[in-house]
Structure 1
């Protein structure tokens, strides 16, 4: 939910920290019905695909009740579990605002929901992506600590001019991360769990590479914003992900500053390979003539 290029401050109606009222009472039944449709579709698909912390969080927050969740209601349980809360914002927010919210255990979420004809794609993250996709993982204490650490690290990255490297970490973990479990690979990234199509592609399709997570490797790897990913990175545990971020990134930024990017479809000799993908989907043009599903 962050973006650069803002220069005029928050839009009319937003507070200085870019938050707004959710106005839950203002949602129409048609908007609630969109949430219910999306929720029920994913709820049928994700057992056996999504990581246990996500599924447990989904149950703990009862995100299906009466359609679009009321932030005031879900924040009671979320705050009790991990000290986090969800705040409504009018859309993408400046990077420094985004990082400040995360560092203070607040997750900024879009207030609007996609239209019925946009079930499989929209350009800007909506409340389903932000709340269904992201918030269940914030009920897990380890992942909750990781997100706070990421926010603190984001503020430092801004000062060091290394935001593009840190953004890759967010993309390949928070948005499109996979978790290694005794039962096989599982999804925990919000960009996957909120997408019906990518929930299947990320685990089942022979096209993408699935590689072991390495912090420097991830920071050197570009990503796709317009289509399915060509590579997914697998963490052995959420604790290992947190541990990787609880260090001084300054030496890492120095190392990656002079290192070339790794091609998005590359498999290096040092990679731990879960799946060496055929890259067939990308080489055939992907969804280049259409748009990326969410």
Structure 2
């Protein structure tokens, strides 16, 4: 399985091939979670996925992921979004809303800007435990929601939602989407205690959680928002490049303080840099030795 199964960080409902039931969705693509429709087999599938990933996360995920998972207390079955939202509101003012799957970019940005995180309401089938084309409730919830309990990361996500409107207006959505891809989905961090994963696509994937943090050959660069926006990514295999934060404050300030307009104008017509290549000005992550 590719880590998240997501072809784009934010993708529109573009056809009937998507699995979710879009017929009953509201104008903002929200639907009822219908928690009582989950079968015992679905809850068991969740428990097994949760147990497998938590065992790996204890060793390889960022402390913020682990504390978020503990606060959500969802190991025993598919979580109830109403209860999850109660916990989130008390901590950071966020809530989760159920959606059928991929939703249009402008709708996605609006949800984030208003501290609502869309979570797919269906769970993968038994034969999809290790490979999934579309993100399901396990990817969306286990991967994303724990980090929303961290105040700094929660503020970054709201700021990202606000930045989406400008990126669309400037025809630079692909550039902004790479920020999401290389942080929210596939981000790594070293706050001085070793390399850890916080991106949802990594945290929810057994294979990539180990690969991204332990493989000695993969390229890891220190976080640079402009370099990130210029870097292509893989959608059908593990990433060839990862960007490493030193703190979540660095991530938030990189979005809030940067003047995106001139960057968009300069680079939006330029093909992205291939993932995995090293270029002048890149700073490699080497643990405590960074160059």
1:2 aligned residue (10, 14, 31): 10
Residues matched between the structures, number: 274
What stretches of structure 2 of length at least 5 have no aligned partner? 1-8
* Structure 2 CA distance for partners of 1:275 and 1:260, relative to 1, 3 Å: farther
* Structure 2 CA distance for partners of 1:180 and 1:15, relative to 1, 3 Å: same
1:30 aligned residue (35, 38, 41): 41
Q: After TM superposition, give the deviation of residue 271 of structure 1 in Å.
A: 1.4
* Structure 2 CA distance for partners of 1:18 and 1:183, relative to 1, 3 Å: same
Distance 1:207 1:90 in 2: 38
Distance 1:91 1:261 in 2: 27
Residue by residue, what CA displacement relative to the aligned partner does 1:204-249 show, whole Å, maximum 9, x if unpaired?
1123101101011001100001000000000111001000100331
| 1:185 equivalent in alignment to 2:234 | no
Distance 1:259 1:16 in 2: 35
Higher relative contact order (CA closer than 8 Å, sequence separation 6+): 2
Q: Which residue in 2 is equivalent to 1:51?
A: 62
| 1:88 equivalent in alignment to 2:98 | yes
Contact 1:89/1:108, CA 8 A, preserved across alignment: yes
Residue by residue, what CA displacement relative to the aligned partner does 1:138-197 show, whole Å, maximum 9, x if unpaired?
000000000000000011111110000011110000000000122211100000000001
- Which ranges of 4 or more aligned residues in structure 1 deviate by more than 2 Å? 4-8, 257-261
* Structure 2 CA distance for partners of 1:223 and 1:275, relative to 1, 3 Å: farther
What stretches of structure 1 of length at least 5 have no aligned partner? 277-294
* Structure 2 CA distance for partners of 1:86 and 1:269, relative to 1, 3 Å: same
Q: Secondary structure of the residue that 1:210 maps to in structure 2?
A: strand
Q: Which residue in 2 is equivalent to 1:283?
A: none
Q: After TM superposition, give the deviation of residue 260 of structure 1 in Å.
A: 4.6
Q: Which residue in 2 is equivalent to 1:170?
A: 180
Contact 2:185/2:200, CA 8 A, preserved across alignment: yes
Distance 1:82 1:43 in 2: 23
* Alignment RMSD: 1.7
Distance 1:259 1:158 in 2: 17
Contact 2:120/2:136, CA 8 A, preserved across alignment: yes
**TM score, norm. by length of structure 1:** 0.89
Q: After TM superposition, give the deviation of residue 257 of structure 1 in Å.
A: 2.8
Q: After TM superposition, give the deviation of residue 11 of structure 1 in Å.
A: 3.0
